[in-house]
Structure 1
Amino acid sequence: MATNKINTANFTKKVENAIKTVKSKANKANYYALNATEEVVTETISIATQWQQVTDKALKGGVKLLDNQQNLIFDTLESYKKHFVKGSKRLRKVFA
């Protein structure tokens, strides 16, 4: 019965070539993943900056609106106070 001899030199070359190919493909995949991640992070920072500016404008506008509403409420309360004081004086005159 004949046995097949494995050519170790040829087998070693094939394994080395396979390892080189795997390293090359892994480097390419790593480079692609790194670039894609960098693009995503850069775009995210850009969008976050834009939203931060929008939020800043909204907060400033909200503070102005709150100030106007607060002034309106105080003016209304002062007006009611004046009417209430006048009304109570008139009511005292009627029933006194």
Structure 2
Amino acid sequence: MGNKKVNKNKKGIFANYAKKTKDMALNANQVALTKTEEFVSTSIEITEQWQGVADKAVKGGLKLAAKQQELVFDILNEIKGDFKEGQKRFKKLVA
């Protein structure tokens, strides 16, 4: 009879350890889930901020490229005008 009491006591101890282990695993799972949600939320916020920065950079880059293109064509028109004027002068000198 004493042996049954010891076995019953061992089962109770193991059941208690099993419950504690299960509770710890559930708690760890909840902590991991919470931290993962925080990580994803923070990642989304940071990504949105960088998208804003990238958008501004692209728009600024396009404006800069447009101004550079205007400048190039203005310079080419000036060169063309100078070249035509030089041709006229050359023709007068040679003729």
Considering only aligned residues, what root-mean-square deviation do their CA atoms show, in Å? 1.2
Q: Please say which of residues 5-14 and 83-92 is displaced more in the overlay.
A: 5-14
Query: What residue is the counterpart of 2:77 in the other structure?
Result: 78
By how many angstroms is 1:21 displaced? 0.4
Letter in 2 for 1:17: N
Query: What residue is the counterpart of 1:10 in the other structure?
Result: 9
By how many angstroms is 1:15 displaced? 1.1
Q: What stretches of structure 2 of length at least 5 have no aligned partner?
A: none
Query: What residue is the counterpart of 2:31 in the other structure?
Result: 32
Query: What residue is the counterpart of 1:87 in the other structure?
Result: 86
Q: Distance in 2 between matches of 1:65 and 1:57?
A: 12
The superposition leaves residues 43-65 of structure 1 with CA deviations (integer Å, 9 ceiling, x where unpaired) of: 11001101101111111111111
Q: TM-score, normalised by structure 1?
A: 0.90
The structure with the greater share of residues assigned to helix is 2
Query: What residue is the counterpart of 1:60 in the other structure?
Result: 59
Q: Distance in 2 between matches of 1:91 and 1:19?
A: 104
By how many angstroms is 1:92 displaced? 1.7
Q: Distance in 2 between matches of 1:91 and 1:80?
A: 16
By how many angstroms is 1:38 displaced? 0.6
Query: What residue is the counterpart of 1:19 in the other structure?
Result: 18
Alignment: residue pair count: 92
Q: Distance in 1 between matches of 2:76 and 2:67?
A: 14
Identical aligned residues as a percent: 43
Letter in 2 for 1:81: K
